[in-house]
Chain A
Amino acid sequence: MKKIDAKGVHFKELNENIRQALADGKTKITLNNVNGQYYIGTGLKGKDITINIEGVPGNDMAAFMDGPTIHVSGNAQDNISNTMNSGKVLVEGHAGDVLGYGMRGGRLFVRGDVGYRVGIHMKGQKRNMPVIISGGMAGDFFGEYMAGGVLILLGLNAKKGESIVGDYLGTGMHGGEIYIRGEVDIERCGAEVGIDDPDEHDLKTLEKYISEFCKDFSLDVKDIMKKPFKKLIPVSSRPYGNLYAY
């Protein structure tokens, strides 16, 4: 276990220190006193790398990341897991806007709330299926332009009758799946989205992902699965197919 003190260290130096520690053969790194430094874990490759972050990491954490696991003990900021390829990001607190932009694989689990435009442009293929789960609530444009992958919103802290998701849900969606725990108002959805009840197969997949989430955050999966989910999928693979005069 390598400890790096991030206090007052510029992101460029901090990330150089991390890369140096990895080059020295250290695979478990703890960063103390992190205070908004950008790009932690950005571009890092390697499945056996684990980074623990004490403090609040800055924007673009785990961008283009390929393999490592990052654990954030508190809150995190914007653009986490930007175009991430594989690996895992766990955030114990809340996280900001534009999380998992164009994410291509791996996991982004946020225990608390997430901001606007989460999971936009997500991609996915059979062997590379990115999954984002937020235990709290989400802002507008959740899953915008989504082309693949799985987005799950649990709303565990929601008050009764409160919507756990913002407006323009899944706008421009043309692939992938969004699961929302509880009811979804169609008025909140983009025109490209259809609301459905998950079938048996969906529920199995859902339980698999949520079990992983619950294990990571010591939550009770049965408790969470008690409440029914809604499944959101694109109504058309070509939402704008008729827009043009050829």
Chain B
Amino acid sequence: MFKSQALPEFLASIDTNKCIRCKRCIQNCGWSVYSWGGDRVQIDTQKCVRCLRCYHYCPVEAIEIKENDTRYRANANWSFYNIRNLKRQAETGGIPLTGMGCDLPYPILFDNLLLDACQVTNPSIDPLREPMELRTFLGKKPAKLTIKKDANGKPKLKTKLTPQIELAAPFIFSPMSFGSISLNAQKILAMTAKERGILMNTGEGGLHEDLYPYRTNVMVQVASGRFGVNPQYLNAGVAVEIKIGQGAKPGIGGHLPGEKIPLEVAKTRMIPTGTDALSPAPQHDIYSIEDLRQLIYALKEATEYKKPISVKIATVHNVAAIASGIVRAGADIVYLDGFRGGTGAAPAIIRDHMGIPIEHALAAVDDRLREEGIRNEASIVAAGGIRSAGDAAKAIALGADAVAIGTAALITMGCTVCGKCYTGNCSWGITTQRPELTARLDPEVYGERLSNLIRAWEHELMEILGALGVNAVESLRGSRERLRGIGLDSQMLDILGVKPAGR
């Protein structure tokens, strides 16, 4: 048999002295690493992705998954992954696919930013004992408010507000479609969104009927493939999002492999079972800002101007000018997806080399919209690499109204960021449609874990706000004076609009 020259990344091993032959590892591994050899478990380590499902479910801790110490000769220029990818390409002639966000060591500017805190001269606030407002409203805000008094002399708002989405905290879940993730994973997102008063986003895969009970906390998406888009769907959620691009794969479209399209997904997307679901990069009805305006208003007409329209783009070099165009085209929300954002499937060459980080993009877009006097016309959602409430707070200080999290939410469901979402073999039942795997993901159990995460982030954000001496997340928004840069050059500080630490 032809033996691949692409070295295995990981070595799975079982301590035969400890192993009780319970075969749980065989049963749990979605990658078929383990098989029964008559008297012991056999291992095909080439298939191992180190998702650690087997490790967690081995009752006697007999399993160990190590980095493969057998490496190509160390070379500072030719890394293990360079060489391995070349071997794989030589053997297949294909494009190496990958999942999750870019894992290369590009600078992460969130780690070069520090938040301010109060000492002596301005009091901090104790969020445990004093009111702290995290509520966030997404949507177009009026440039000015007109107030008139009614017959009883009570002030009344005369300005007619456009539709707003109320979030209990400035967090939403990023779009992940039914197809790319399992229905149970979507249910977990929907249940948590409802419980915590935030939003989940259907992604471009339609809204399965099981999710209609959660519609008050759902944003539906329309993209180039138009999967699952009908009038009922458009009016099902609280907002509609037009997906132009995704941070992990700017400029290229979605491609859900046929392995992940069983009957239920095919029905929801209205395509044949087992075909590849193609949502190409260009939306062939959008070649300009004017065309985008046409679709935005088509959706507004279809929803009778009752729902805010969001436009999601990947952050690319000219993101500020593009975002300005999007706002002028009538979008109520601009969703910026940074290049470290996750994906269910993207060519590695695109994910690892295209776009710009969310930190730069966010600062540039916020600046541009302020300069043009249209920052109130749309809310900004920042996504693509938000790992903690700290990142979220920094993003808000840079100018975001809310942040979206995808990978962070999946991690609560068991995800270990192994990056093999595109294969449809996820042993945790998240990015797969294989029924024996998806059944593992109990929405009740994992819904509670995800709710825990959001609750914890709410507390953390309140602690941060308290330390900053403000009692509402609104007071932090765009407040770059409360950020300082560390280890950044003057040009970078200028782009981010922050002072260096010490100034």
Contact = CB atoms under 8 A, between A and B. Distances in A.
Contacts of B280: 145, 172
A172 B225 CA distance: 12
A47 interface: no
A60 B96 contact: no
A64 interface: yes
B97 A245 contact: yes
Contacts of A147: 270-272, 275
A79 B291 CA distance: 11
Interface stretch (B87-95, B138-146, B389-397): B87-95
Contact of B278 (A78, A82, A172, A245): A172
Interface string A114-148: 00010011011100100000000000010011011
A95 interface: no
Instruction: Say what secondary structure dominates the interface of chain A.
Output: loop
Instruction: Say what secondary structure dominates the interface of chain B.
Output: mixed
A239 B275 CA distance: 8
B284 A144 contact: yes
A245 B94 contact: yes
A240 B276 contact: yes
A106 B240 CA distance: 24
Interface bin, chain B? 35 or more
B95 A245 contact: yes
A98 interface: yes
Interface stretch (A35-43, A205-213, A224-232): A35-43
A238 B261 CA distance: 11
Contacts of B222: 83
A246 B232 CA distance: 37
A141 B285 CA distance: 13
B379 interface: no
A244 B258 CA distance: 13
25 contacts: A15-B301, A38-B294, A42-B301, A59-B294, A63-B302, A64-B234, A65-B231, A79-B298, A102-B225, A123-B270, A124-B270, A145-B278, A147-B270, A174-B271, A175-B271, A175-B272, A241-B258, A241-B276, A242-B94, A243-B94, A244-B96, A245-B88, A245-B89, A245-B92, A246-B94
Interface of A: 11-12, 15, 19, 38-39, 42-43, 45, 59-60, 63-66, 78-79, 82-83, 85, 98, 101-102, 104, 117, 120-121, 123-125, 128, 141, 144-145, 147-148, 172, 174-175, 237-246
